Amino acid sequence: MNSQVLDVLKMFFTLLLAAIVITVGGAPQTMLGCPRNCGNVTIPFPFGTSPDCYLDDSFIIICNNTYNPPKPFLVGGIEVFDILVNGHLKVSSWMAYDCYNDSGFRTRDVYSWLRLRNFSISATRNKFTAIGCDTYAFVKGSRDKNYTTGCTALCDGSDYVKSGSCNGVGCCEMSIPEGIRDFQLTINSYKNYTRVQKFNPCGYAIMSEEGYYSFSSADLWALQNKTRETFPVVLDWAVGGNFTCQEAQKNSSTYACRSSNSECWDSLSRRGYNCSWKKVFQGNNYLIDGCQGMNSSILLVDQNFSNC
């Protein structure tokens, strides 16, 4: 081949590469060649649906195409609603409830649970809420040890209950401890709803993203027909397995936050860490994007990812 043909070829490939880079540019979210989304949900790196696309096995997403649109799941079958590059993801959870008939017999008793191996349940972004007028509800979970906590919601009549106000009258709420990886919600009653059954035949308990559920007095009655509704629970994710920043920084060949513009944060669950921009967050800090001429502060060093 003469050098002119070579030059033309070179130019062609440079333009091709530029085209690819422009398509991916803006906010780089996904490894080149990997699916950007599963149905409505975008799948940013370090998450992915195949070994070339995720950072390690803890970030596996299973995209189930039998749904229309397709739905993403974690290993173990937990549905994923949203994945945020700021270190959070939202997964599906359901309500716990128990119901009683006129003569005080328990007719339904359903508990709710979530168990995770590789992510913890965000203590700052979720709330536990119990709804009812003869209701005490428990959250059981484990961190290093088991723990149990809970709250009580009571009322003497529907007149005392105020929508939007979750202060123990008809509704109580609580934050949850840091770093837990599982919970189970259970409900019980003091007097089998015998005095309140006419307007409140059931107790309900919900773990959800803070601000997602807002108490309404009508729910004392109406939630009994909405038991199939799902609620988003916010999880924390972090890279680095169980290494802290300090431990990870000792090994420069695996440490993920490289540039002087990046900051390392120990995850709240005390396992793993995250990298964030010193200034306003932009793009995907975990995805290698130096080759795109972007303002990249974090490079993942793993050889698999230096493919551009």
Task: Give contact residues for ligand NAG (rule: CB under 6 A).
Answer: 40, 56-58, 62, 64, 66, 69, 74-76, 86-87, 101-106, 117-118, 142, 145-146, 191-192, 221-222, 224-225, 241-242, 251, 253-254, 265-268, 274, 276, 279, 281, 295
Minimum distance of ligand NAG from residue 304's CB (angstroms): 13
Q: Minimal distance in Å, beta carbon 142 to ligand NAG?
A: 6
Cα–Cα distance for residue pair 238/119, rounded to 1 Å: 8
Closer to ligand NAG by CB, 58 or 126: give it. 58
Tokens of 70: 């397709």
Give min distance, CB of 169 to ligand NAG, in A: 21
* Beta-strand relationship, 273-277 and 171-174: unpaired
Cβ proximity to ligand NAG: between 8 and 222 the closer is: 222
Alpha helices in 64-120 (DSSP H): none
User: Helix, strand, or coil here: 58?
Assistant: helix
**Which is closer to ligand NAG, CB of 167 or CB of 175?**
175
The answer to whether residues 175 and 127 touch, using CB atoms and an 8 Å cutoff, is yes
Nearer to ligand NAG, 228 or 279 (CB): 279
Q: How many CA atoms lie within 13 A of 204 on its CB side?
A: 28
Nearest distance from C-beta of residue 114 to ligand NAG, angstroms: 12
Pick between residue 167 and residue 304 the one whose CB is nearest to ligand NAG: 304
Pairwise CA distance, residues 229 & 94, whole Å: 7
Q: Kindly tell me the burial class for residue 44, based on how many C-beta atoms sit within 10 Å of its own C-beta (0-12, 13-18, 19 or more).
A: buried
Q: How far is the CB of 192 from ligand NAG (least distance, A)?
A: 4
Of 129, 116, 47, nearest in space to 82 by CA: 47
Q: Which CB sits closer to ligand NAG, 14 or 65?
A: 65
Minimum distance of ligand NAG from residue 6's CB (angstroms):
33
Strands 80-84 and 71-74: unpaired
Residue nearest to ligand NAG (CB): 87
